[in-house]
């Protein structure tokens, strides 16, 4: 017996915003699990901004792309896995795959919806947690600005800052997203950067300056934040999504950098794997905050692997609120 699996191939490298026709959905036949192997059916796959720079080189043409996913073991001839086990894996962009077990980690949902392990309890949650508390050295009651605040990382960062009694300003690209930030997540001020002059609104909102700017966007957002930074402020640089469609991810000009000198502002990039040791504490805190209703989330779920290219492109047009993901099969 073998199963037919569909997978997403990149067939042409994009310039600028990717186009749907630069991807293809291919059918392949996946064999039975052999000795020491499992057959996994993916249920959900993650779609992440960092995949865009990979389209320019790292992803091979005419081969299955990859990325984070959650799947179910449907056949096992491996001593460590049984049929029905739910496994986090790096084999997204395909419906089924064979594995010898490397790179698979079992999920015990612990009463939480499975999808939360793809965002608040997964990589984007840990990114926000470590980036804000470790790299950003957030202290209770500080003044915080978060860009892309209605996204997967940003919405968690903004809520952690609220839990730490901070004054929080967020930016997002639509009125609906801004309303969600203020009305449901309790963020103090949300700025719709598409409908207003960001640096003016940020100046008006940041009456006590900014101690921590959680940077997700780069370019004009960084330029607007720099003059508002308080002495000894921190800018943990999580991402710069506004640059990712540019050749070589070249950022828009940033002109206000000299502000970091006399204010002694720290600007530091980080990558989520730096925080792996924090995972137990992170999971304890996040599960508690979710149960207490202090950590909320939204998901934008597109159905069917054929929609994966649309989901990836949608990250750059603001299609998602909260975590963007694709459902590949029913739980």
Residues lying near ligand NAP in the complex (CB under 6 A): 48-50, 124, 127, 148, 150-154, 172-174, 177, 216-217, 238-242, 270-272, 315-316, 318, 320, 324
Alpha helices in 242-301 (DSSP H): 259-262, 279-291
Q: How far is the CB of 317 from ligand NAP (least distance, A)?
A: 7
Give whichever of 30 and 65 is closer to ligand NAP, judged by the CB atom.
Answer: 65
Give whichever of 33 and 238 is closer to ligand NAP, judged by the CB atom.
Answer: 238
Give whichever of 11 and 319 is closer to ligand NAP, judged by the CB atom.
Answer: 319
Structure tokens at 241: 């999504």
Q: How far is the CB of 34 from ligand NAP (least distance, A)?
A: 35
Structure tokens at 197: 């002059």
d(CA 72, CA 256): 49
d(CA 307, CA 319): 13
Q: How far is the CB of 293 from ligand NAP (least distance, A)?
A: 22
Q: How far is the CB of 154 from ligand NAP (least distance, A)?
A: 5
Give whichever of 101 and 318 is closer to ligand NAP, judged by the CB atom.
Answer: 318
Give whichever of 60 and 271 is closer to ligand NAP, judged by the CB atom.
Answer: 271
What's CA 94's distance to the chain center, in Å? 20
Q: How far is the CB of 306 from ligand NAP (least distance, A)?
A: 21
**Could you give the angle at the alpha carbon of 255 between the alpha carbons of 252 and 256, nearest 5°?**
130
Give whichever of 174 and 230 is closer to ligand NAP, judged by the CB atom.
Answer: 174
Say which DSSP state 22 is in.
G
Integer angstrom CA distances of residue 191 from 60, 146, 170, 177, 207: 39, 10, 6, 10, 14
Q: How far is the CB of 283 from ligand NAP (least distance, A)?
A: 17
- 292 backbone φψ class: left, alpha, beta (φ>0; ψ -120 to 50): alpha
């Amino acid at each position: 017996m073998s199963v037919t699996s569909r997978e997403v191939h990149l067939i042409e490298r994009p310039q600028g915003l990717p186009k749907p026709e630069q991807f293809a959905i291919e059918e392949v036949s996946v064999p039975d699990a052999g000795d020491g192997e499992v057959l996994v059916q993916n249920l959900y796959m993650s779609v992440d901004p960092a995949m865009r720079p990979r389209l320019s080189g790292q992803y091979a043409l005419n081969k299955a792309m990859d990325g984070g996913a959650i799947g179910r073991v449907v056949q096992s001839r491996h001593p460590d896995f049984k049929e029905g086990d739910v496994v986090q894996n790096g084999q997204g962009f395909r419906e089924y795959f064979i594995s010898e077990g490397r790179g698979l980690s079992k999920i015990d949902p612990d009463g939480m919806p499975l999808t939360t392990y793809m965002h608040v309890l997964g990589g984007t949650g840990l990114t926000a947690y470590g980036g804000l508390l470790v790299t950003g050295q957030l202290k209770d009651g500080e003044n915080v600005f978060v860009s892309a605040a209605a996204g997967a990382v940003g919405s968690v960062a903004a809520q952690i800052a609220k839990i730490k009694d901070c004054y929080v300003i967020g930016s997002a690209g639509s009125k609906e997203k801004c309303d969600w930030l203020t009305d449901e997540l309790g963020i103090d001020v949300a700025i719709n950067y598409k409908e207003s002059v960001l640096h003016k609104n940020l100046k008006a909102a940041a009456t006590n300056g900014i101690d921590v700017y959680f940077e997700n966007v780069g370019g004009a957002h960084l330029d607007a934040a720099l003059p508002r930074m308080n002495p000894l402020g921190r800018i943990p640089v999580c991402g710069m999504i506004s640059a990712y469609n540019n050749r070589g991810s070249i950022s828009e000009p940033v002109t206000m950098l000299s502000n970091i000198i006399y204010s002694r502002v720290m600007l530091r990039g980080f990558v989520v794997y730096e925080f792996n040791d924090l995972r137990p504490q992170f999971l304890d805190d996040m599960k508690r905050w979710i149960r207490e209703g202090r950590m909320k989330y939204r998901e934008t779920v597109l159905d069917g692997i054929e929609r994966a290219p649309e989901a990836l492109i949608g990250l750059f047009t603001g299609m998602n609120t909260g975590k963007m993901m694709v459902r590949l099969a029913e739980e």
